[in-house]
Structure 1
């Protein structure tokens, strides 16, 4: 557990108070930490957090131009679908189920590259993946980088305040971080470079990748619909980049126990299943915490899982070589525990209803 507790850079207000409980900083303390973590003039090791937020700032002019110069109802619909559904689903597919949990495997690096760049790149993989391992290990306890009990700002600014990798890792722990990132294809530093930059990812390769990604999608959207479409989609991406930072606060009940019987089966933390994130992004959060390595988290018939549909399609065409689907296990453990060895639910061709076969 020492690695999990030490792998992230502790904020100045610490993870725990003197009583061993969650340290709950004031908004002033959180903002002070945030500005300190973005100050690349004070410390160049702040480059990753600074870059992540500068990408959001860079998208703001596109949103302004769309609203005040290129606004149209069609553009608004496209922006809504792209930000809420396309980027939301991609975040679940790439950052959540692949980069962090390795819930599926690609047949080759080409399909990994395609999936990685399906949308505008805004979130650095390192910021998300390593901290998310900590989130699962320490969920809703001190050390959880986006512990909802710390309040809205505690979660909203967590990517800068709580999620960056510890800059004083031993070489052994640094190599463990590299191993956690290896399957993502991210170009990593060696230990000497890490000591210089304070990150697992190399800044040159990371920033170059973002520039290439943005340039490609700018050209595609411009050819499809001109500068108006570019502004609509790039602006929408900026909205998503801000909105996604609110998710874990909402997804863990805003620091309260909002779990519902028969809906939220995981009782080990405060995660909850929410209809909107589930429908638009396949993020049934309580189900995910129940089976974090599952490529599917929409287990019940009404739980739409667009991320799973993509993974399943990629498997059908041979782009995904392996995936783990915990749905049969979920039904066996929680819905029909009286039946042993339940296999994949199937649909009855006569009634059209879901039935369960047994081995």
Structure 2
């Protein structure tokens, strides 16, 4: 079978039903799968999914401290900007455009390390990257790990239920996974270690990296604004970590065709451009699906792209040596023809209206 058909760990309810259509599990089946895959006592190979959600749990006390002890409107604004804009844009730059699509290249590992750790670390790269390749190959089809047609929970809990790599990969396919992750700087397990842990990532290195990242940023935030600022931003990061799990459900029309003429030019799937994710995180999703390897997805004047601004800034100061920018192709192939067709249709309508008025006046 093709590599992308088998690289992810299939849920117990399967990708397809007996007719070959998307298997749409019940709420009970989704939660049963979710808690089963978090159970590290049942299977230690569940450690990465468990760690991913334990990180969110760890952020809860910080959020509570912000709300009940340190709350102020000033800190609320800071929390909003950090969670929505900073964390959102970083997710687009690092996980989406670099780790998955290699839309740009860093000059060296130092710039890569800075970009990787410029915010609090929350999402393990492995969970995001491998599954996102499958998402683009099977978008809105059975096998898409966050197929919006499966419902909200199907997408929201996908990082546990659908996105981890399979536990039974052969050595060749495991090597392909390692290759997909190599440019991110991750030191992957050997095949023997993978057979023990079920992941590319090594538990000790992964958890150690998270603790170092969190320790550095708590100290930095504390030195800037004390425990109040540190708790605020840690709580904001936790809020983002939950919110980002809703994106693919919304970004693919909640399972319906919500594409708009003149806005969503990609017709191969149900992805749509949304103003909010676009403005705060540079995630113009339909544009991205049209040109996934582009370092910019905000192609039109109103499409603010903070992720692109960061990449372009690094390019100007020498941190990024090259990037793909598909704006010109987008304008020439899609936007300009649409504008011309719209203008021509308007002219025809005007002519027909004038001819109708002349005929009416004659009679």
- Whether TM-score is above 0.5 comes out as yes
CA contact (8 A) 1:189 1:199 kept: yes
Matches within 5 A, 1:2-17: 2-17=2-17
How big is the shift at 1:246? 0.2
Gaps in structure 2 of 5+ consecutive residues:
340-363
Q: Secondary structure at the match of 1:336?
A: helix
How big is the shift at 1:338? 10
1:44 corresponding residue in structure 2: 44
How big is the shift at 1:335? 1.9
- Cα distance in 2 for partners of 1:80, 1:335 equals 33
How big is the shift at 1:332? 1.2
CA contact (8 A) 1:187 1:206 kept: no
Deviations along 1:83-130, whole A, 9 cap, x unmatched?
A: 000000000000000000000000000000000001000000000000
CA contact (8 A) 1:105 1:321 kept: yes
Larger of the two Rg values belongs to structure = 2
Q: Secondary structure at the match of 2:105?
A: strand
- Cα distance in 2 for partners of 1:40, 1:16 equals 27
- Cα distance in 2 for partners of 1:55, 1:187 equals 21
Q: Secondary structure at the match of 2:134?
A: helix
Whether 1:207 and 2:204 are equivalent positions in the alignment is no
- Cα distance in 1 for partners of 2:322, 2:208 equals 30
Deviations along 1:307-348, whole A, 9 cap, x unmatched?
A: 000000100011001100000010111123499xxxxxxxxx
1:132 corresponding residue in structure 2: 132
CA contact (8 A) 2:99 2:184 kept: yes
Deviations along 1:56-100, whole A, 9 cap, x unmatched?
A: 000000000110111111111100100000000000000000000
1:353 corresponding residue in structure 2: none
Q: Secondary structure at the match of 2:86?
A: helix
Q: Secondary structure at the match of 1:105?
A: strand
- Cα distance in 2 for partners of 1:28, 1:220 equals 43
Matches within 5 A, 1:84-95: 84-95=84-95
Q: Secondary structure at the match of 2:70?
A: coil
Gaps in structure 1 of 5+ consecutive residues:
340-359
1:78 corresponding residue in structure 2: 78
1:264 corresponding residue in structure 2: 264
- Cα distance in 2 for partners of 1:34, 1:187 equals 27
- Cα distance in 2 for partners of 1:31, 1:185 equals 33
- Cα distance in 1 for partners of 2:170, 2:55 equals 30
Change over 3 Å in CA distance of 1:13–1:338 after alignment to 2: closer
Aligned-residue CA RMSD (Å): 1.0
2:217 corresponding residue in structure 1: 217
**More moved, 41-50 vs 200-209:** 200-209
2:236 corresponding residue in structure 1: 236
Whether 1:162 and 2:162 are equivalent positions in the alignment is yes
CA contact (8 A) 2:262 2:338 kept: no
Deviations along 1:11-68, whole A, 9 cap, x unmatched?
A: 0000000000000000000000000010000000000000000000000000001101
- Cα distance in 2 for partners of 1:63, 1:57 equals 10
TM-score by structure 2 length? 0.92
2:193 corresponding residue in structure 1: 193
**More moved, 216-225 vs 330-339:** 330-339
Deviations along 1:185-208, whole A, 9 cap, x unmatched?
A: 011001000000000111111111
- Cα distance in 2 for partners of 1:175, 1:300 equals 40
- Cα distance in 2 for partners of 1:105, 1:327 equals 18
Matches within 5 A, 1:90-169: 90-169=90-169
2:336 corresponding residue in structure 1: 336
Whether 1:226 and 2:252 are equivalent positions in the alignment is no
TM-score by structure 1 length? 0.93
Matches within 5 A, 1:173-192: 173-192=173-192
- Cα distance in 2 for partners of 1:170, 1:328 equals 42
1:355 corresponding residue in structure 2: none
- Cα distance in 1 for partners of 2:338, 2:56 equals 50
